[in-house]
């Protein structure tokens, strides 16, 4: 079966102009000043779109950036090489991973445009058939924890599972109430983002409670703490990594060797490396799922399309964006989601 990069790298692409579009949520979320930026590339009567995620300063930087991507390239690979000559970060980002997010904005928009100019779609050039997409929605319980939030969400959207951000403040009683609700697929420890740990003993106790109370859940991003790694060793088959996963090489650098990985396209950043990562995971039997990064536009559909092609039955944390609202509407799409691919690199 053709790998992603081989399937798309020889597509020609012509870019005549570009435009940027600011996207805002449709209602309140748990993140202040939240927005994303869509990049529109135009050429030969077609439009390709990519979406930048990230912090407010990341968005401001792209919107203020002076760049020229107009031209005609015999191959998409040639355009990607042209991107290497551009200074997409005149001021270095505060977090190096932001470089991947911006790179993905350009490469995903270019892929969309090249496919549309070739009058084809990503599933067609890959020779893969997208399948109905299982998705979950992710959130925390707040401070203090609202133990009934999961039950309320399940009652409102009974087909949708959950990826939950656990905290040391989750007592055994809270965990039991959460675990009593169907659909808890992933527990996220948020242990790979360099955040300060205030109480090592409380953290270890939280992990112990989580392992025992959620015996079927994926356990994502544990802290690199010897006591935690020791306790997770017997259940390594359900431990996964998300934050560190930026490509094939990153898989060898994690503290635990795991059989599950969260592959986020915008975190990888480059089409050729994403292609290598997909191929590596499939060849080595590594289970995959993916997650969103707060996309509000085309980027969410692109992540959903990739998941429907590579790991449709996994607990993919890419629910339609309205699930991220503080009060999600009742009439949202159900899981599994119809893949409905459109032309280019988009869901229909």
Which residues does 132 contact at the CB level (< 8 Å), separation at least 6? 308, 312, 336, 337, 338, 339
Same domain, 8 and 107: yes
Looking at the DSSP bridge assignments, the partners of residue 43 are: 46
111 and 24 share one domain: yes
Residues 118 and 133 in one domain: no
Q: Do 152 and 300 belong together in one domain? A: yes
Q: Of 71, 98, 125, which residue constitutes the final position of a domain?
A: 125
Whether 214 and 258 share a structural domain:
yes
Q: Is residue 186 part of a domain?
A: yes
* 222/242 same-domain check: yes
Residues 271 and 149 in one domain: yes
**Percent over 90 (pLDDT), the chain:** 92
Where does the pLDDT of residue 321 fall: very low under 50, low under 70, confident under 90, or very high at 90 and above?
A: very high
Residue 73 counted as domain residue: yes
Does residue 336 form part of some domain?
no
Q: Could you give the number of structural domains in the chain? A: 2
Domain co-membership, 180 together with 98: no
pLDDT at 22 over 80: yes
Parent domain of 257: 128-324
70 occurs within a structural domain: yes
Residues 234 and 277 in one domain: yes
**Average pLDDT over the chain, rounded to whole?**
95
Q: Give the closest residue to 258 by CA, choosing from 274, 243, 275.
A: 243
Q: What is the CATH number of the domain that holds 233?
A: 3.20.20.120
Q: Which of 107, 125, 143 is the last residue of a domain?
A: 125
* Residue at 91 is within a domain: yes
Query: Within this chain, do residues 180 and 198 fall inside the same structural domain, yes or no?
Result: yes
Whether 30 shows a pLDDT value over 70: the answer reads no
CATH at 13: 3.30.390.10
pLDDT band at 134 (very low <50, low <70, confident <90, very high): very high
Are 168 and 263 in a shared domain?
A: yes
| Contacts of range 239-246, beta carbons closer than 8 Å, 24 or more positions apart | 240/186, 240/289, 241/192, 242/188, 242/192, 242/291, 243/192, 243/193, 244/192, 245/277, 246/97, 246/100, 246/273
Do both 154 and 239 map to the same domain? yes
> Per-residue pLDDT tens for 32-86?
678 999 999 999 999 999 999 998 999 999 999 999 999 999 999 999 999 999 9
Would residue 337 count as lying in a domain?
A: no
251: pLDDT confidence band, cut at 50, 70 and 90? very high
Helix, strand, coil shares of the chain as percentages rounded to 5? Answer: 35, 20, 45
Look at residue 291 and tell me if it is in a domain.
yes
Q: Distance of CA 219 to CAs 181, 215, 260, Å?
A: 17, 10, 10
Considering 94, 125, 156, which residue would you say is the last residue of a domain?
125
State residue 302 phi and psi, 5-degree precision.
Answer: -65, -40
Q: Is residue 335 part of a domain?
A: no
């Amino acid at each position: 079966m053709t790998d992603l990069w081989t399937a798309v790298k020889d597509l020609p692409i012509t870019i005549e102009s570009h435009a940027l579009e600011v996207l805002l949520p449709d209602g309140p979320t748990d993140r202040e000043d939240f927005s994303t930026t869509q990049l529109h590339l135009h050429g030969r009567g077609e439009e390709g779109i990519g979406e930048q995620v990230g912090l407010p300063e990341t968005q401001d930087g792209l919107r203020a950036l002076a760049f020229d991507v107009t031209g005609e390239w015999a191959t998409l690979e040639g355009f990607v090489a042209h991107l290497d000559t551009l200074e997409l970060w005149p001021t270095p980002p505060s977090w190096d991973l932001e470089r991947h997010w911006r790179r993905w904005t350009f490469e995903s928009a270019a892929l969309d445009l090249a496919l549309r100019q070739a009058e084809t779609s990503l599933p067609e050039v890959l020779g893969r058939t997208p399948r109905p997409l299982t998705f979950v929605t992710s959130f925390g319980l707040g401070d203090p924890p609202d133990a009934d939030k999961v039950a309320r969400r399940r009652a409102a959207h009974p087909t949708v599972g959950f990826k939950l951000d656990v905290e040391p403040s989750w007592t055994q009683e809270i965990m039991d109430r959460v675990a009593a609700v169907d659909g808890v697929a992933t527990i996220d420890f948020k242990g790979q983002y360099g955040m300060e740990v205030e109480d090592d003993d409380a953290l270890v106790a939280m992990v112990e409670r989580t392992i025992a109370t959620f015996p079927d859940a994926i356990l994502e991003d544990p802290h690199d703490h010897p006591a935690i790694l020791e306790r997770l060793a017997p259940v390594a088959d359900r431990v996964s990594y998300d934050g560190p996963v930026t490509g094939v090489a990153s898989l060898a650098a994690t503290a635990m060797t795991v059989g599950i990985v969260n592959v986020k396209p915008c975190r990888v950043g480059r089409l050729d490396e994403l292609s290598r990562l997909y191929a590596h995971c499939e060849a080595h039997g590594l289970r995959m799922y993916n997650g969103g990064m707060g996309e509000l536009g085309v980027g969410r559909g692109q992540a959903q399309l990739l998941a429907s092609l590579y790991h449709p039955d996994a607990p993919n944390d890419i629910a339609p964006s309205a699930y991220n609202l503080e009060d999600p509407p009742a009439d949202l799409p159900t899981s599994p989601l119809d893949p409905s691919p459109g032309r280019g690199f988009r869901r229909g």
